[in-house]
């Protein structure tokens, strides 16, 4: 079977296969990106680049059903989540088109001497993007759109299980009117991706994926002195210290945990609850998880679908089984049927267990009881990850203290699923090294050139 294939995770049926690129095709892709870069960066005005990017956003909306269908086929995403992702990708793409002046304009500096100084943002060249399967459109939009507006060109290696959605993205860039080579989709192997990184014409690489993938790519990028941006995993804490409406909190906790069938790096996965609310929260949370409708993504009555693949479901089942073997309590769930995995709740987890440090990538949650704000923060930070975090409290001063104390790139107070194109996304520790979305994303792969002029 080809590495690039569409396998319906609901049934295990292989629906389509696509050949991996030849070495000659990879060489041609890099040639095209380098050739296009010279004119795109130096000849095409930023306003014109932005106008074509805006057309890509429009095409996302015009082709909504077609694009959503592809990712339900490829990775089992529930229909409502699939259409929502396409719409969000359109919003992100449009954001960078709207803000082209801010991300390409000069930044004057106050200087001590006479004359003037500015920071001029200039593109650096072709970039390689290595993207994951869990959000096939959203992940690409937040990498490609700002960099193309800035003036870089893109070589995109998508996950092998996303050949059709990746081709659809490339087609939108073509149909929008981009010159050949500004956006190039490649069905590359890992070895060919390494060759692209090594090519001296390629100036940087962005990876969204697992720790293992990020570490491997970062090592290659470092070897070849290339800039690398990493967006990796997360085991985000959801801290509940006080509330006037526990039912609303539980509803949001479940909705966030099961977003994308639980396969979201910044979903809350560890629920840390003050002792006075713990029993009631656990009972309501468990009831809601059990009541979640699970099935084929094309059936709009289903709230979650299968995991993206049989391998992903087997991996999650192994983690949960091992946690129970090591002494954790399985409150509900823990059953796998092919690529489907029941919504699962674990408690009584201790630092000696593997699951204490692992990311559960699927509809499984761990719930902890704490007796104080300080204990909650200590437990929240007891992880190798540091992506997002969630704090629920009725005390604004407490919210500020906890947000300050959490080791994470993002803190959301009394809200979930509040991502927006203007808000930067990224983490610390083993969750990554960069920021995507917002204006910060456009600064990852630019030459912040100092221009100092004497009077």
Angle between helices 46-62 and 64-75 (to 10 degrees): 70
Closest CA to 406 of 432, 433, 379: 379
Q: Which of 74, 94, 231, 373 is catalytic?
A: 231
Give the contacts of 296 (CB within 8 A, at least 6 positions apart). Answer: 10, 76, 302, 305, 306
Greatest C-alpha distance within the chain: 74
Euclidean distance between the first and the last CA atom of the chain, given in angstroms as a whole number: 67
- What's the token pair of residue 136? 């096939």
H or E stretch covering 368: strand 364-370
Dist CA 428 CA 387 (whole Å): 6
Burial class (CB in 10 A: 0-12, 13-18, 19+), 19: exposed
Active site residue 378: no
- What's the token pair of residue 45? 């005005």
Strand 204-208 vs strand 107-108: parallel, antiparallel, or unpaired? unpaired
Dist CA 182 CA 162 (whole Å): 21
62 alpha-carbon distance from chain centroid: 24
What are the beta bridge partners of residue 390?
Answer: 238, 412
Residue 248 burial (CB count, 10 A): 12
Give the phi and the psi of residue 112 in degrees, each rounded to 5: -80, -30
Dist CA 323 CA 452 (whole Å): 60
Residue 315, sorted as left (phi over 0), alpha (psi -120 to 50) or beta, turns out to be: alpha
Dist CA 237 CA 165 (whole Å): 32
What does DSSP assign to residue 231? E
Active site residue 231: yes
What are the beta bridge partners of residue 273?
Answer: 240, 369
- What's the token pair of residue 165? 């959605």
**What is the DSSP track for 107-128?**
EE---SSSSEEEEEEEE--EEE
Q: Which of 94, 162, 265, 359 is catalytic?
A: 265
Calculate Rg over the CA atoms of the chain: 23
Catalytic residue positions, numbered: 231, 265
């Amino acid at each position: 079977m080809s590495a690039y294939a569409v396998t319906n995770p609901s049934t295990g049926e292989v629906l389509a296969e696509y050949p991996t690129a030849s070495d000659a095709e990879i060489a041609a892709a890099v040639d095209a990106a380098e050739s296009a870069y010279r004119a795109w960066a130096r000849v095409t005005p930023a306003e014109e680049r932005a106008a074509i990017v805006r057309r890509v956003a429009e095409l996302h909306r015009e082709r909504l059903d077609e694009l959503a269908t592809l990712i339900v086929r490829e990775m089992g995403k529930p229909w409502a989540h699939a259409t929502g992702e396409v719409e969000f990708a359109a919003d992100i793409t449009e954001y960078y088109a709207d803000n082209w002046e801010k991300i390409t304009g000069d930044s004057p500096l106050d200087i001590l001497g006479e004359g003037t100084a500015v920071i001029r943002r200039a593109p650096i060249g072709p970039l390689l993007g290595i993207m994951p399967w869990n959000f096939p459109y959203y992940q690409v939009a937040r990498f490609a759109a700002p960099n193309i507006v800035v003036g870089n060109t893109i070589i995109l290696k998508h996950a092998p299980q996303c050949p059709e959605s990746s081709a659809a993205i490339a087609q939108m860039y073509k149909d929008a009117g981009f010159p050949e080579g500004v956006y190039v989709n490649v069905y590359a192997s890992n070895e060919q991706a390494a060759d692209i990184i090594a090519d001296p014409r390629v100036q940087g690489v962005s990876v969204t994926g697992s720790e293992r993938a990020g570490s491997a790519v970062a090592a290659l990028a470092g070897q070849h002195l290339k800039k690398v941006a990493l967006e990796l995993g997360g085991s985000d804490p959801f801290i509940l210290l006080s509330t006037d409406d526990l039912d609303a909190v539980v509803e949001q906790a479940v909705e966030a945990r099961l977003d994308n069938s639980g396969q979201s790096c910044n979903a809350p996965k560890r629920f840390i609850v003050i002792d006075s609310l713990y029993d009631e929260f656990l009972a309501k949370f468990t009831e809601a998880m059990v009541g979640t409708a699970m099935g084929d993504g094309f059936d709009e009555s289903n709230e979650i679908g299968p995991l993206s693949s049989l391998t992903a479901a087997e991996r999650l089942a192994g983690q949960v089984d091992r946690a129970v073997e090591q002494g954790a309590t399985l409150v509900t769930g823990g059953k796998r049927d092919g690529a489907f995995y029941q919504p699962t709740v674990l408690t009584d987890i201790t630092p000696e267990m593997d699951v204490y440090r692992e990311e559960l990538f699927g509809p499984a949650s761990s719930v902890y009881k704490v007796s104080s704000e300080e204990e909650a923060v200590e437990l929240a930070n007891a992880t190798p990850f540091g992506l997002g975090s969630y704090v629920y409290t009725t005390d604004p001063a407490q919210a500020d203290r906890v947000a300050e104390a959490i080791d994470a790139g993002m803190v959301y107070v009394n809200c979930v699923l509040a991502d927006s194109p203007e808000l930067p996304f990224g983490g610390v520790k083993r969750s990554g090294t960069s920021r995507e979305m917002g204006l910060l994303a456009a600064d990852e792969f630019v030459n912040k050139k100092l221009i100092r002029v004497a009077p």
